[in-house]
Amino acid sequence: MNDGVQHGPALNFRDFVDELLAEGDAVGIDVPVDSDLEAAAITRRVYETHGPAPLFNQVIGAAPGHRLLGAPAGMSRLGNGYGRIARHFGLPRESRPREIVDHLIHAMGTAPIPPREVRSGPVLENTSEGAAVDLRDFGSPLLHMQDGGRYFGTYGMHVVRSPDGTWTSWSISRLMVRDHRSLVGPAMPAQHLGMIHQQWSAMGEATPWAFVLGAPPAAIAAAGMPLAEGVSEDGYVGALAGVPVDVVRTPGRGIPVPANSEIVVEGVIDPHLTDAEGPMGEYHGYQFDDSSPKPVFHVESISHRTQPILPFCVAGMPPEENHTIWGTMISAVATELLRGHGLPVSFAWCTYEAATCWLAVSFDIERLAGMHLSESELAHRVADVLFESHVGWLVPKVLLVGADIDVTDANALLWALATRYRPGTEYVFDDAPGIPLVPYLSDADIAAGRGGKSVMSLLQPEQISHGRTRGIPAQFTTSYPISLQNQVRSRWADYGFRP
């Protein structure tokens, strides 16, 4: 073992924040801001204006020096808008969705690099245990006035390990403050957190558990990636970064957590006790009224950096982190999964604006025509691959389009939906399993854990049968000679327009 601090925005959250501040994609707020709705209201407006991430340096309701960061992966008005997302992976700010996803897919095909255990790290600078534990120090924000409580964990990751020690899961699931030493939140059976919790509960034991806030940005992104059951995210993050992630043991239960994290709590998930959690404004953009019983997480110790930063997401209308990070990671897994099953997929994109309810899949239509599939056969092939996978469990609706449509452009996708969808070309799969949080599901669907799934074809008949597209878009890049396009661009300011 050794000591040392890993640097760079992908592996050190503090470096990530400093870079955003230096690049003008975050703003330090030095006036007092209340953790009771005010910080969340500012952050919600940041999402809706694509403003810089707000770093709250004086938080009313938190211990002195404890800080909050809103919108850590919000869309930005700087550059192409994806800068904050790209910096999670140490990529240049100007990286576009396909470049980001290609980077993620490349790491999926690379041998995992297991984490490296070190003696100490910044997260252990301050530790409290037992009766000294007080979650109230962190100023967990009240996010919406209709919420059932304050949320400590909206941009953090759970760390649990299977009883046999073969599977370490880093996963994202929210946590609401129950009291100063406990939290409450979901651990659904189809989530990896829920699977491992069930393994411990079946033995009659509490689940050893840690929760990490301000994790290395690449780690928090990977924790939201629908990797296969049994795959440890820590090794994937090593492959993604090209070096092992430094981890330290928590002071009580010895759970390995990233050494560069801002905040780590550890304890157990109660095998029996539940309490009311929620309601909470959700990733799908709705606020409902009801709470529901969820497992209780008992906190036994807290470790944190000096002047810790608690990152948070204000879930709701897109885009926010549930869409930008979760959607990007879903896109990488879906693209690789469909290609791996022999389908000529150009790109699969979980459309941010559709609140993670659409996966748009574009095809190389020449190769598609060579497969001699009917529309129905193609839809069923896609459904067979996706809807039995973890990524398909998350996304209820799949849209099939030709690669002439840029599926990362919501306007282009909306145009294709309006002009290429022919009524009757939607295929419904009511027996497919799915996440119960989708807002249009019936009570029967939720009870069964199935339903509400479809594949919709936006492919023209000629694209499927002959690899040809009927018509071209009438737009600047297709309706004028390239020489004239270049002339217009170069003279744009001469015409009187702002560059």
pLDDT, tens only, 307-352: 999 999 999 999 999 999 999 999 999 999 999 999 999 999 999 9
> How are strands ordered across the β-sheet holding 256-258?
116-117, 246-249, 256-258
Q: Which helix (H) or strand (E) holds 465?
A: helix 461-466
CA-CA distance, 340 to 469, in Å (whole number)? Answer: 26
Burial label, 17 (beta-carbon count in 10 A; 0-12, 13-18, 19+): buried
Does residue 162 register a pLDDT over 60?
yes
Measured in whole angstroms, how far is the alpha carbon of residue 495 from the centre of its chain?
A: 43
Question: Residue ranges for the binding site?
Answer: 170, 174, 191-192, 222-223, 225, 233, 390
Q: Answer whether 20's CB lies under 8 Å from 79's CB.
A: no
Q: Which of 19, 262, 266, 282 is catalytic?
A: 282
Q: Tell me the pLDDT of the chain averaged across its residues.
A: 96
Rg, Å, the chain Cα set: 23
Summarize pLDDT for 369-397 with one digit per residue, the tens: 999 999 999 999 999 999 989 899 999 99
DSSP three-state, residue 26:
strand
Res 260: pLDDT: 95
Quickly state the pLDDT bin for 1 (edges 50, 70, 90).
Answer: low
pLDDT band at 2 (very low <50, low <70, confident <90, very high): low
Q: Which residues pair with 290 in a beta bridge?
A: none
pLDDT confidence tier of residue 5, bands split at 50, 70 and 90: confident
Closest C-alpha among 240, 414, 211 to residue 302: 211
Exposure of 413 in the CB half-sphere (CA atoms within 13 A): 22
d(C-alpha 231, C-alpha 182), whole Å: 29
Dihedral of the CA atoms 28, 32, 33, 34 (nearest 10)?
Answer: 150
Spell out a b/e string for 187-225, using b for 16 or more CB atoms within 10 Å of the CB, else e.
Answer: bbeebbbbbbbebbbeeeebbbbbbbbbbbbbbbbbbbb
130 pLDDT above the threshold of 60: yes
Binding residues for Mn(2+): 192, 233
Q: Is 282 a catalytic residue?
A: yes
**What is the average per-residue pLDDT within 50-63?**
98
Provide the pLDDT for residue 455.
Answer: 98
Q: Which two tokens stand for residue 171?
A: 């996963």
Q: Identify the band that residue 205 occupies on the pLDDT scale cut at 50, 70 and 90.
A: very high
pLDDT digits (tens, 9 = 90+) for 454-483: 999 999 999 999 999 999 999 999 999 999
What separation in angstroms does the CA of 476 have from each of 3, 119, 433, 486?
56, 59, 43, 11
Task: Report residue 392 as tokens.
Answer: 């398909």
Report how far apart the first and last C-alpha atoms of the chain are (Å, whole number). Answer: 54
Q: Does residue 277 contact residue 291 with C-beta atoms inside 8 Å?
A: yes
Q: What is the pLDDT of residues 427-447, one digit of tens each?
A: 999 999 999 989 999 999 999
Nearest alpha carbon to residue 458 among 417, 497, 499, 424: 417
Which has the closest alpha carbon to 103: 416, 419, 439, 332? 332
Nearest Cα residue to 175 out of 148, 145, 159, 154:
154
Distances 139 to 126, 262, 310, 474 between C-alpha atoms, Å: 17, 14, 9, 53
Residue stretches of the annotated binding site for prenylated FMN = 174, 191-192, 233, 390
67 neighbors 13 (Cβ within 8 angstroms): no
97: preceding bond cis by omega (within 30 degrees)? no
Helix 321-340 / helix 375-386 crossing angle, nearest 10 deg:
110
List of domains in the chain: 13-312 (2.30.110.10), 342-466 (3.40.1670.10)
Query: How would residue 4 be classed by pLDDT, with cut points 50, 70 and 90?
Result: low
Calpha distance 171→157 (Å, rounded): 5
Instruction: Quote the CA–CA distance of 4 and 244 in Å, as a whole number.
Output: 13
Q: Give the closest residue to 469 by CA, choosing from 459, 477, 481.
A: 459
